[in-house]
């Protein structure tokens, strides 16, 4: 079962309320996405910490329903 881009964006914004999120379906199959997440709350956090916040917001869906997510994060 695939996860759609709208649901990915909703979960990320729910977990990181100040985030600007852009999702792109890379293969058109609903399984391979790229996400860009920009949030002021990432300030002072390492790239690994930023990615962990995004993965945590996906509530365990990564690696299951959500097969692949290429992730770029940063601050405005």
- In the predicted model, is pLDDT for residue 24 greater than 70? yes
Confidence band, pLDDT 50/70/90 cuts, at residue 32: confident
CATH value at residue 44: 3.30.300.90
Q: What is the mean pLDDT of residues 57-75?
A: 85
The whole-number pLDDT of residue 27 equals: 83
The count of structural domains within the chain is 1
- In the predicted model, is pLDDT for residue 54 greater than 70? yes
The Cα-based distances of 42 to 3, 4, 29, 50, 64 in angstroms read: 25, 25, 30, 6, 26
- In the predicted model, is pLDDT for residue 36 greater than 90? yes
- In the predicted model, is pLDDT for residue 6 greater than 70? yes
Q: Rounded to whole angstroms, how far apart are CA atoms 7 and 28?
A: 16
Question: Residues near 15 by Cβ (< 8 Å), separated by ≥ 6?
Answer: 53, 54, 56, 57, 58, 59
Q: Rounded to whole angstroms, how far apart are CA atoms 44 and 61?
A: 26
Asked whether 38 and 53 are in contact (CB, 8 A), the reply is: no
Q: In terms of residue numbers, what domain contains 51?
A: 5-74
């Amino acid at each position: 079962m695939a996860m759609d881009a709208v649901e990915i964006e909703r979960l990320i914004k729910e977990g990181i309320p100040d985030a600007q999120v852009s999702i792109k379906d890379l293969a058109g199959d609903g399984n391979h996405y790229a996400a860009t997440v920009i949030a002021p709350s990432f300030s002072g956090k390492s790239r690994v910490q930023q990615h962990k916040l995004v993965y945590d917001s996906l509530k365990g869906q990564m690696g299951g329903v959500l097969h692949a997510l290429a992730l770029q994060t940063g601050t405005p």
